[in-house]
Amino acid sequence: MVISTKSLLLRIYSDKAAMHGDESIAETIISRARAADMAGATVLQGTLGYTATSIVHSHHLLGIGDNPPVVIEIVDFEKKINAFLPQLEDLRGIGLITTEQVNVLKVKSET
CB neighbours (10 Å) of residue 51?
14
Q: Residue 17: what pLDDT?
A: 92
pTM score of the predicted model: 0.89
SS (H, E, C) 5-45: EEEEEEEEEEECCCEECCEEHHHHHHHHHHHCCCCEEEEEE
- Domain 2-100: top CATH class: alpha beta
- 97 φ, ψ to 5°? -125, 130
Above 60 in pLDDT, residue 105? Answer: yes
pLDDT number for residue 34: 99
**pLDDT for res 56:** 81
- Tens digits of residue pLDDT in 39-94: 999 999 998 888 777 778 777 665 556 789 999 999 999 999 999 999 999 999 99
pLDDT score, position 96 = 94
CA nearest 95: which of 36, 11, 9? 11
| Domain residue extents for the chain | 2-100
- Are 78 and 39 within 8 A, CB to CB? no
